[in-house]
Amino acid sequence: MATSEASYIDYDTFLDPDFSAASFANTLVTNTNNINDTQVDLSTPLSRVLFDVQEIDTHIHNLTTKSALPLLEHTQDRSQSSQRILTQVEEQVSSLAEGYQRLEKEVLRKWTSAEEAKVAAQNSLQTLRLARAVARCISLGRQLEGQIAEVTGRVSSATTGGSTGGKDDHRAMVRAATTILMLRQMFSAIGEGEEGQGLDRVKVIRTLRSDLVIPAENTTKARAQQVINRFSVSSLIVDSSLRTSNGTQSPPPPPASTSSSSTYAQTEEAKARLFSAITTLYLLSPTPKSGVSAEDFQPELLLSTLQGYIHNSLTSSLSSLARGLATLPILDRALAEVSGRCQDIAALETLLAGLKRPSHPLLSSSSSTKNQDQNSNLLKPLLHVLDTASLPSYYWRSLASSLPSRVQEIINRGGAAARSLRSGRDKLRNDLRECVLRGSQLPANVAKGRVVGAAAGGAGGAAFVVGNWEREAAVMVSAVVGALGR
């Protein structure tokens, strides 16, 4: 019976993974009906399906009836095994829970306390760093305040509590500039983990910056620029010449050693003040944010001040010479002023050529010794900005380029001044040439190392001619005398 049932029902068809109920029904209907009939009989295939279902149900019932006891035993075994596993798992879970509680008590709670202590320590460290930065800024501010008092000559009196006037110390400008750089570095280092982190949020630091540092920087800049604008060695040459010549209008000269010593001391003082002012403006010049080496750094504040000094000298010389040409009795004095300003510029060039770049704390030094030697002095940046090879040459050529129009104005106005200029061409030519050559004279201690030929006199304060200026003399003569012929 079981064999016939197995052969009657095609279990392979029903167990096939690709079995399709629609396809099976279509096949069953097609097999139980004639294709040529107009009507479709569904009762026969339906009976066939119901019979198959009944047979399968009977077969399942027979199997479950025969295997009921083994199935129950198997189910009981699985249930007992599951219970044993559950019991053991619960014991393990209970042990893990106890271990976690112990771990939480011994580790997690201590870790929480340690984390709180860590946060407190970090906050304390940040507070300590901020307090140190504030204390450093205040200390630098007090130091800067005292240095500014030295720069301006107003030194505080410890007994009276006020300020007493005194001689300003030009070396204090450099110290003040260095202190300002330190403060500037502190104010800029406010990033995460930097020394001045959080300084921008401290009110006393903002007050220190606005009420002391910025005014002090402006005062230091102004004093250094004033020193440069007042720089002059031509008066020393004139004093030395008067003392050695012993003219009828001058008093009897002091001993030669006293005169030389006095002139030398004055020249050295002028040089020292100039060096301090140049160093100050170099340090206070704006530094780029991106890394730049000290050799490539362009001190804009210093260069603009030196340019202003040269252009002011040119403007004053042009005005003096124009007045002298229009009023011949004062021409000699005008030429002396013009040559004196050139002496100052020539002295400035000589001193800049011998002055190495100061050490800048915010700039990195180049590792190339050759590059350091090429850009070690402060004259080359100035020559590069002015696009010239020599400051005196720039002075004379710039002055000469502006003179023809002034001379032409005098000629066009006519009168005694124009006639005197035309009649005294030869004397004017010689005076202009002597003016240019006299403008190249420097004190011996200034022209040291650049002497070409000595002027009259051999005293310690004597003036020396530096370089050959015949071409510049010809340019000046051509600018004035040449304009007279047109």
d(CA 421, CA 416): 9
Would you place residue 157 in the very low, low, confident or very high pLDDT band (cuts 50, 70, 90)?
A: very low
With a cut of 70, say whether residue 62 has pLDDT above it.
yes
Structure tokens at 400: 């000469």
pTM above 0.75, yes or no: no
Q: Which residue has the tokens 């279902």?
A: 53
Higher per-residue confidence, 24 vs 223: 223
Sort strands 163-165 and 154-156 into parallel, antiparallel or unpaired.
antiparallel
Q: Determine the Cα angle at 60 with ends 58 and 64, to 5°.
A: 120
The least confident of 100-114, 259-273, 428-442 is 259-273
- Listed in sequence order, the residues at least 6 apart from 349 whose beta carbon sits closer than 8 Å to its beta carbon are 379, 390, 391, 392
* Mean pLDDT across the chain: 81
Q: What are phi and psi of 164, to 5 degrees?
A: -115, 140
Q: How does residue 294 score in pLDDT terms, banded at 50, 70 and 90?
A: confident
